[in-house]
Structure 1
Amino acid sequence: MAETMKEIHWVGSSKKDLMKMPGDVQDIFGFALHLAQSGAKHPDARPLKGFGGTSVLEVVENYKGNTYRAVYTIRYSNAVYVIHCFQKKSHQGISTPKRDIEVIESRLRFVEASCGGL
């Protein structure tokens, strides 16, 4: 029996932003998203703090002194929604910068409205 794969939906500029990242980082994030599509979880995927549970995940990759993040949600049964892909530029701690949190919140609201709420 063939495995059913969820669709990928890119929110805002997330795909364009991912495509600007180094190839090795794209490969890691692409594999994490592929696993999410099939219902599995990448070993480095973890819940994004402050977003209520395990349905909003992030994968963090350090590459040549830079840190890259991909945030996606598996909250909906029909698709994996890629919310935000970005390079973390702040060097103050490991927390996600406020501007990026605001982008994530805004895009999640858009997805929730598009999908008819939770």
Structure 2
Amino acid sequence: MSVPKPIEFRGSALDDLRAFPLAARREAGHQIDRVQHGQEPDDWKPMATVGQGVKEIRIRDAAGAFRVIYVAKFADAVYVLHCFKKKTEKTSKADLDLAAKRYRDLVKELAQ
């Protein structure tokens, strides 16, 4: 078994995740743990519009649909860019823009 990659939450992502209902929070934790160990989440899709290598974990429970946007392609850590509850079928531009900004800031930081 490989050593799990550390998790780094960007911006308000950790607080946003903590605001999820308990069941969704537990599921998000389980899926992030899979990513830390080099596995794919159970339900995910690529988010190329946010940045190269960015993926979205999809969580459904009785309280609604929740998303965790992350990037795991960097060697040092899994970066959680954004966590939110989906309110409409299409992911809002504000959520995508926020994740994209955090991704750009991360890439700049890592390049220094």
With normalisation by structure 2, the TM-score equals: 0.90
Query: Any unmatched runs of 5+ in structure 1?
Result: none
Pair 49,100 (structure 1): closer, same or farther in 2 beyond 3 Å: same
User: Whole-Å Cα distance in 2 between the matches of residues 76 and 44 of structure 1?
Assistant: 21
Q: Within 1, Cα distance between the matches of 2:24 and 2:86?
A: 13
Is the contact made by 1:11 and 1:107 (CA closer than 8 Å) also made in structure 2? yes
Aligned residues: 112
Q: Give aligned-pair identity as a percent.
A: 28
Match of 2:70 in 1: 72
Aligned 8 A contact 2:60 2:66 in 1: yes
CA drift at 1:66: 1.8
- Aligned equivalents of 1:111, 1:88: Cα separation in 2: 24
* Corresponding residue for residue 26 of structure 2: 27
Show structure 1 runs of 4+ deviating over 4 A: none
Q: Which moved more, 1:44-53 or 1:29-38?
A: 44-53
Which residue of the partner structure matches residue 62 of structure 1? 60
Task: Tell me the C-alpha RMSD between the 2 structures.
Answer: 1.7
State how 1:44-63 maps to structure 2 within 5 Å: 44-51=43-50, 55-63=53-61
CA distance in 1, matches of 2:7, 2:86: 23
Question: What is the correspondence of 1:36-47 to structure 2 with a 5 Å cutoff?
Answer: 36-47=35-46
CA distance in 2, matches of 1:41, 1:102: 24
Q: Pick from 87, 90, 110 the counterpart of residue 89 of structure 1.
A: 87
> C-alpha deviations, 1:42-82, integer Å up to 9, x for none?
121221252465x2111112222521111100120110000
Q: Which has the larger radius of gyration?
A: 1
2:111 counterpart SS class: coil
Q: Secondary structure at the match of 2:8?
A: strand
CA contact (8 A) 1:32 1:45 kept: no
